[in-house]
Structure 1
Amino acid sequence: MTVYIAMDDTDNLESRGTGRLARSVGTALAENFRVFGITRHQLYVNEAIPYTSHNSCAVIHLPDAVERDIPDIFSQAREMMLDDFIEGSDPGLAVADASRISPALMAFGRDAKSTVLTQEKARTLAKNLGIRLEGLGGTEDGVIGSMAGLGLACAGNDGRFLQVGRIREITGPAEVPDLLAAGLDGIYTLDGRAVTSGFVRTDAGKSVKPCPVGGKIILFVEENSGDLIAVKRD
């Protein structure tokens, strides 16, 4: 069973984003656990919801961890988040084994993409499902996004990878075989055609952003005047 570590609202406009902090936590956890990847999940952007820039959460995936590891995982992630606390942020942390992530939590995650939710609902879900959840400062509104992140990441068909395989080692334009060898399970055009050769273009100095789709790591591209352009999906 995979253990998921979800964090939300850890930054302000002047600080590093939640994704960068998640990668730092992932690097620390990798000393004791295999990190499959880190995903970013877009949540609802609405004037009723305070957020820094994009209102997204990040989730670390540990496929070989088990439930008895969760206290240590939670403690380590919590300590790093508290050490990195930024004034003006409202961080939340949630850690759960996949067996705890019920259809109700997956539905909560989907709702968080289009609905204004409450801390009360997030905390009640965590209590009923036996999930470790904590607000780590400010208003603690990050508990909403972190619980949503668990449901979205476990469902396996939302967001994009911030880190997976060796993808971040390849920046700028790259050949399709190199990207597949770095950890992608497939590359597809937006109209459904599999891509097995060619050159994928992305911004200089940037890596491609594949998506979790049905448990696989998939990069989407669009064709423009014969070029394959990497698509960054929310």
Structure 2
Amino acid sequence: MAALFDAITDELVEDLDAIRSLVATFSDAKQPPKLRIAAANSATLLVAATFEEFIREMAREYARAVVSGVEKFEKLPNDLVGTAWKRTMDGLGKIKFDMKQGQGGDVFVAAQARFSVIYEFCRGDLSKDIYRELIHNENNMRPREINGLFKVSGLSDVCTKCSDKQPLLDLFGESEPGKAHGKTLTNIEDFFERRNNIAHALKLGQSSSPEQINTDIDMLESFAKALGQTLAAVAPPQFVPAVAAEAAPVGT
């Protein structure tokens, strides 16, 4: 599993490097002010969306590891099963169809397919892919939301567990995980406050400077690397059924 978490993290780093290159294009003060503001705001929103998808993907892979690490359905965390069931049912309840346009049949087929996945999973078929329904955030990927996505799989307070990892300690110049944890929470919260101020603005106004955007990228990248190290360390190994000893041939 460590290699998989590393691969997802490496992909995020590549995406963030691409955004850094974008930021460099509008750092020139000779650019028109409105163009610079629009570009900076777009970059901030892109950073947020990229980070949120990374967290969801890591949470899904951790959930897969938890499921593949148990012998049978009854050994799974209660929150994992209950959350997957509830979110599937909630999703089915939001499906809209228009019988007058002849769409009813297609909708019913799709709904049945979605229900069958969670139904078979809860009957013990752990190969079913429930993870897109399971891992879903309703709000910005603030620390509380991040913790919640991993808690459903039995991993509590993942942000605290990340805070003793070297990427965050180095970023904040700290040797004490507790202090790094506090700074991590504050920095992520502040980033999403800036993101929301941009997203909810009715017209162009102030935006983050290129320096601030790069600082945010450095912080989120460090958190991502710390998260990858944390998950690699705590993810359960895949369950391997015991192989029955081959019966000895019966003598004549």
For normalisation by structure 1, the TM-score amounts to: 0.24
TM-score (norm 2): 0.23
Q: Indicate the structure (1 or 2) with the bigger Cα radius of gyration.
A: 2
Bigger helix share: 2
| Greater relative CO (CA pairs within 8 A, separation 6+) | 2
Query: Normalized per residue, which structure has more strand?
Result: 1
